[in-house]
Amino acid sequence: MYTQFTESVIEIIKNIPKGKIQTYGGISKLAGSPFGARQVVRILSSMSDKHNLPWHRVINSKSLLPNMNKEMFNKQIELLRKEKIKVSDDGKIDLKKYLWNGN
């Protein structure tokens, strides 16, 4: 059994549609805790496989893919580009164009 926040975060991440992204902070706000971005990181890293979460659709507030090893970085770029999201080679994404607002 998870906390209400954790359950909300899992559902929000599951509902990010293909071709859209959301930030850690945006997810925490949607889940009712505007200062819970680090918790979102923890939830995403520990529960992505178990809940089949589209982890690749979550980025940081600077419009960049999170710091990770090169293999995972390249995998995330590949998955996003398959969804027609334009990602620069250094991992930057246009938030105005691709940010999902939760609706």
Q: What is the pLDDT of residues 43-82, one digit of tens each?
A: 999 999 999 999 999 999 888 777 678 898 899 999 999 9
Which tokens hold the place of 66?
């999170």
Q: Residue 13, SS3?
A: helix
Ranges of H-type helices in 15-67:
24-30, 37-51
pLDDT over 90 at 102, yes or no? no
Residue 71 vs residues 16, 45, 68, 91: alpha-carbon distances, Å: 23, 16, 8, 13
Q: What architecture (CATH level 2) is domain 4-98?
A: Orthogonal Bundle (1.10)
Asked if residue 53 lies in contact with residue 10, where contact means CB atoms within 8 angstroms, the answer is yes
- Extents of the domains making up the chain: 4-98
